[in-house]
Structure 1
């Protein structure tokens, strides 16, 4: 099904192509500046550190539905091996094979394309089997430290988890923002909690994947208006799944990554952070979430940490 006029109308309103020049490969991460990082550092009061990543192991969130996106396969390649002769220091080494978007991760701007284009109007054909992404590969994001803001949509509604058919709207984001007692601003990284990861943590990876609450087609305009630098949430598909518009698959990916040039994060565990923010009565913090610099990759694992 071709992308409908509704999609193209929103795309025009949120498009950032050329905003930071024709050669730009960072998109909305340009909104993170020295000033915004200093302001982020000023949010640290107690030094409480909250990890946001899922463990990397073979029984991860992937169900096999997405071809090639496998959970981590961990193999030992040497165990207590005395490389320099008997009685010398012994070492152990391991290797991992995994889909780069298998667990807690960032989607690079090249993860999605539409109409033959990626962010900033470059041809989608610049992504090749041999070299990966020629432009906008995840390695171009050399650091990602910013003010993080938790928009706890589920808790703002008095719920542990949003229903599986709930499309998170701009009104939901505004309600969570009011609940947090702050205003999302330029250069912020927004973490949207739906509570869906509780299903995965309870052992139901299929229920985690489908049906799933997630961001609606209307949310990119809200993030664009606030000049948000990046968005992550606690679901497998980021946007509501199955889609709110029949046969319109992954439109939010296309609007965020292709049109806006805004990184997306998925499979983030926001449960401990939700508790910590509620206990401390604040929802902003210093967020460290620099992606692993796989050259030419369209996504990468990340181990984010919120510092309150």
Structure 2
């Protein structure tokens, strides 16, 4: 079924093709300027470090609902092996087979296409079986360091089934919700920021209920990309597996936010970020902006990459 006119109208309003040149391959990460990084460093006060990644484990967040996105399979390839002879120093080594987007990760710009095109009007056919994402591989992303802003929508609305801890499963996060979270945090999202949107959905996974975490899920509304575009946000990450509201808010329009962010805006997006501890830390310290280090693993040709982000308050 062709994408509806409503989608194409939204796409036109947020499109960044050509903004940073015809050969650009990093999109809104161009907004991570030295000035933005210096301003990010100035947010550090207490030095409190909050990890945002899920552990990489064989019984991880993936349930098999997404074909090929397998949890990490950890295998030992050597155990205390004295490779230089008896009595010498021994080494242990291991290997992992996993989906690059198995746990906490960034979606790269080649992860999604629509109408036969990728970001900056590249053909979708530049993603190949042997070369992967030849034109827009995740390895092209620069070091991802900037001011992070937590928009704790679950806390701002306080209307979930468990109080302020979690949004209802059918809640689409709107621009109005994002503004309400700004007001809660006393912060204004500005160009070059990396926005983290907390829905509280991660609580299901942390409690051991993977199925409830995966589906159904609150997430970003199809209206949210215009809000991020107007703020000139560098990247967005959430505490859900699907990133956007799932099932979709518009019948038969699947993954429209993915397409608007990755294809039209050239903005990478993160999923499965654990924002629970960060939500508590920001509430305790009374501030929702911090230094964020979240560089993607540079897998050549990857359509995404695992990341171990750290917020420093």
Q: What's the TM-score once normalised by structure 2's chain length?
A: 0.98
Tell me which residue corresponds to 1:85. 85
Tell me which residue corresponds to 1:109. 109
Q: CA deviation at 1:136?
A: 1.3
* 8 Å Cα contact 1:166/1:213 also seen in 2: yes
Tell me which residue corresponds to 2:308. 303
- Mapped to 1, the partners of 2:77 and 2:31 lie a distance apart of 43
Tell me which residue corresponds to 1:148. 148
Q: CA deviation at 1:18?
A: 0.0
1:1-308, aligned counterparts within 5 Å? Answer: 1-158=1-158, 159-308=164-313
User: SS in structure 2 opposite 1:236?
Assistant: coil
- Mapped to 1, the partners of 2:116 and 2:276 lie a distance apart of 38
User: SS in structure 1 opposite 2:68?
Assistant: coil
Q: What's the TM-score once normalised by structure 1's chain length?
A: 0.99
- Mapped to 1, the partners of 2:184 and 2:198 lie a distance apart of 13
* 8 Å Cα contact 2:147/2:290 also seen in 1: yes
- Aligned CA RMSD, in angstroms, stands at 0.5
* 8 Å Cα contact 2:145/2:294 also seen in 1: yes
* 8 Å Cα contact 1:142/1:293 also seen in 2: no
Q: CA deviation at 1:61?
A: 0.8
The one-character-per-residue Cα deviations of 1:228-262 (angstroms, maximum 9, x if unpaired) are: 00000000010000000111100000000000000
Q: CA deviation at 1:9?
A: 0.2
Could you tell me which runs of 5 or more consecutive residues in structure 1 were left unpaired when the two chains were aligned.
Answer: none
- Mapped to 2, the partners of 1:48 and 1:65 lie a distance apart of 36
Q: CA deviation at 1:33?
A: 0.5
Q: CA deviation at 1:2?
A: 1.2
Q: CA deviation at 1:142?
A: 2.9
User: SS in structure 1 opposite 2:155?
Assistant: helix
User: SS in structure 2 opposite 1:191?
Assistant: strand
Aligned residue pair count: 308
Q: CA deviation at 1:191?
A: 0.1
Q: CA deviation at 1:65?
A: 1.3
* 8 Å Cα contact 2:29/2:142 also seen in 1: no
Could you tell me which runs of 5 or more consecutive residues in structure 2 were left unpaired when the two chains were aligned.
Answer: 159-163
- Mapped to 2, the partners of 1:188 and 1:303 lie a distance apart of 18
- Mapped to 2, the partners of 1:4 and 1:60 lie a distance apart of 36
* 8 Å Cα contact 1:292/1:301 also seen in 2: yes
- Mapped to 1, the partners of 2:179 and 2:116 lie a distance apart of 34
* 8 Å Cα contact 2:174/2:224 also seen in 1: yes
* 8 Å Cα contact 2:204/2:212 also seen in 1: yes
Q: CA deviation at 1:218?
A: 0.1
- Mapped to 2, the partners of 1:142 and 1:80 lie a distance apart of 37
